[in-house]
Amino acid sequence: MKIHEYQARGIFASAGIPVPRGKAVSTVADAVAAAEEYARPVMVKAQVHVGGRGKAGGVQYAENVEAARVWAQKILGMDIKGLKVNTVLVTEAADIVTEAYVGIVIDRASKAPVIMVSAAGGVDIEEVAAKTPEKICKLAVDPQMGLRAYQARDLAARLYRDINLVRQAADIIMKLYDVYWKVDASLVEINPLITTPDGKVVAIDAKINIDDNGLFRHKEIEAMRDLDAEDPSEHEAREGDLSFVSLSGNIGCMVNGAGLAMATMDLVKHYGGDPANFLDIGGSSNPQKVLTAMRIILRNPNVRAILINIFGGITRCDDVANGIVMAYEELRPDIPIVVRLTGTNEEEARKILKKVNLESAATLDDVVKMAIKLAESDAANVGRVA
């Protein structure tokens, strides 16, 4: 789960990481009030779940209250990489001498949190990572030992020469690791971590992604969820108790069981196709779930064919078939659907599918190849196909 910069800043501030004062507001009047309260230049910053806001024009310096008004007017409602800005952070503008990068992510290769620091921080960090990766220094932290003070100091010394700055940065890195650990983050990031003319190290951007599997332990963070900022399909799937992940392909997949869903996607790839999503309808056979799943798949305009693969064990094929018929009648999909149902109550399921002229393919290979062929051809407009 992603949270907004202002929320991440709040968590950083509680952990003792220096961040400038700021207020999240959703109206121009409130933005003006915040700028008046600070009575000095402010930044007006779009709060959307995407990086590169600065380059997209969503982070602006306002010299005075009038400028803050103008920028708030411009940025509220702005579209940044397909996301609408509903909230801006009005924060005291900092004077910047240097911009560094500090981030912590879980690294599956080293099976540990990895801290990354670079003196070349700021809006071009992706380019630094791609072109001059030697400018990024990494340290894998032993999760049992935790981060030791000398390690944090060593990392901080890669950023600054001045011992005064090194001490502050080391302290910030220790606190950032604490935050990372305590909130079950999958990523925490400060970019940029700046130095000011009076020798202070300050975090002026804040990013925290939470590992969804740890969310149940953090009700206060779950409460930060901004539904307007999330993919509506992923939200609907969560509410409907379905596991769903959007992908970039054109074959909508509906499968029962995560393992079978992965195997189905592997086979789609194997035969040269491209899945539009991962979707596990779970072990139960509630027809309502099939309907929700179908609605989510059909919302994606890239989908050219739907592949349904059900292995009936506890899941009863006839229940799923009823769900498919219900979804078919309610949603009237105008793209081809291919089905493979096998296992418990398979025969009944076949009879039910006949009602909407669908037939179950014989094997998984068959159904996958059929889905790929249909997604590639212009037959994606012909309607249903067995």
Binding stretches for ligand GDP (CB under 6 A): 43, 45, 51-54, 59, 61, 93-94, 96, 99, 122-123, 191-192, 204-205
When CB distances to ligand GDP are compared, the closest residue is 54
Q: Is 47 in the site for Mn ion (CB under 5 A)?
A: no
Nearer to ligand GDP, 22 or 275 (CB): 22
Report the C-alpha gap between 114 and 147 in whole angstroms.
10
**Partner interacting with residue 249 (select from Mn ion, ligand GDP, none; CB below 5-8 Å by kind):** none
Nearer to Mn ion, 102 or 293 (CB): 102
Q: Is 5 in the site for Mn ion (CB under 5 A)?
A: no
Residues in contact with Mn ion, counted by CB under 5 A, come to a total of 2
Alpha helices in the chain (DSSP H): 5-14, 28-38, 65-75, 125-131, 149-157, 163-182, 219-222, 232-239, 258-270, 287-299, 317-331, 346-354, 364-376
Q: Is 205 in the site for Mn ion (CB under 5 A)?
A: yes
**Partner interacting with residue 99 (select from ligand GDP, Mn ion, none; CB below 5-8 Å by kind):** ligand GDP
Structure tokens at 269: 């790839």
Report the C-alpha gap between 296 and 49 in whole angstroms.
21
Report the C-alpha gap between 321 and 308 in whole angstroms.
10
Report CA-CA distances (Å) from 291 to 325, 348, 367: 9, 19, 20
Query: Residues 191, 277, 292, 315: which binds Mn ion (CB under 5 A)?
Result: 191
| Location of structure tokens 């400018």 | 135
Question: Are 290 and 239 in contact, with CB atoms under 8 Å apart?
Answer: no
Nearer to ligand GDP, 59 or 327 (CB): 59
Catalytic residues: 101, 189
Structure tokens at 101: 């990068």
**Partner interacting with residue 233 (select from Mn ion, ligand GDP, none; CB below 5-8 Å by kind):** none
For residue 255, give the nearest of 364, 99, 119, 122 by alpha carbon: 364
Question: Are 375 and 304 in contact, with CB atoms under 8 Å apart?
Answer: yes
Given the rule CB under 5 A, which of 67-75, 204-212, 301-309, 324-332 is the region that contacts Mn ion?
204-212
Nearer to ligand GDP, 43 or 358 (CB): 43
**Partner interacting with residue 319 (select from Mn ion, ligand GDP, none; CB below 5-8 Å by kind):** none
User: Smallest gap, in angstroms, from Cβ of residue 139 to ligand GDP?
Assistant: 23
For residue 155, give the nearest of 163, 141, 166 by alpha carbon: 166
User: Smallest gap, in angstroms, from Cβ of residue 303 to ligand GDP?
Assistant: 31
Nearer to ligand GDP, 124 or 346 (CB): 124
Query: Which residues would be at the binding site for Mn ion (CB under 5 A)?
Result: 191, 205
